[in-house]
Amino acid sequence: MRAAELLYGTAPGRLLLRGLTRPWFSRLGERVMDSRLSALAVPGFIRRHDIDMSGCEKTRFSSFNDFFTRALVPEARPIDPDPAALISPCDGLLSLWPVTAEGRFPVKGVEYTLAELLRDPALAEQFRGGMVWLFRLCPEDYHRYVWPADGDPGPTVSIPGVFHTVQPLEKGQRPVYRENTRQYRTLKTAFCTAVMMEVGALLVGRIVDLPAEGPVKRGQEKGYFAFGGSTVIFITQRGAVVPDSLYPPGGTETPIRQGQRVGRILRN
Domain boundaries defined on the chain: 77-265
Pick the catalytic residue from 26, 63, 91, 141: 91
DSSP designation for 46: H
pLDDT at 113: 92
Q: Is 230 labeled as catalytic in the residue annotation? A: yes
* pTM of structure: 0.86
pLDDT at 39: 93
Partners of residue 193 on adjacent β-strands: 188
Q: For the residues of 164-232, what is the DSSP string, one character each?
A: EE----GGG---EEEE--EEEEEEE-SS-EEEEEEEE-SSS--EEEPP--S-B-TT-EEEEE-SS-EEE
In tens, the pLDDT along 8-60 reads 556 666 666 565 556 566 667 778 888 999 999 999 999 999 999 999 999 89
pLDDT at 32: 83
33 in helix, strand or coil?
helix
Task: Give the 3-state secondary structure percentages of the chain, helix then strand then coil, rounded to 5.
Answer: 25, 30, 45
pLDDT at 161: 74
pLDDT at 165: 46
Count of CB atoms situated within 10 Å of the CB of 50 = 7
pLDDT at 171: 40
> What sign for the dihedral angle of Cα 258, 263, 267, 268?
positive
In tens, the pLDDT along 211-230 reads 888 899 999 999 999 876 68
- Of the candidates 243, 134, 151, the one whose C-alpha atom is nearest the C-alpha of residue 197 is 134
In single-letter form, the type of residue at position 207 comes to I
Partners of residue 87 on adjacent β-strands: 261
pLDDT at 166: 42
Residues in the chain predicted with pLDDT less than 70, given as ranges, are 1-27, 162-178, 201-205, 228-229, 268
CB 225 within 8 A of CB 204: no
pLDDT at 167: 39
Q: Is 91 labeled as catalytic in the residue annotation? A: yes
CB 200 within 8 A of CB 211: no
List of residues 6+ apart from 12 with CB closer than 8 A: 6
Provide the strand spans (E) within the chain.
85-87, 92-98, 105-107, 110-112, 131-137, 144-146, 152-153, 157-159, 162-165, 176-179, 182-188, 193-200, 207-209, 221-225, 230-236, 241-243, 254-256, 261-265
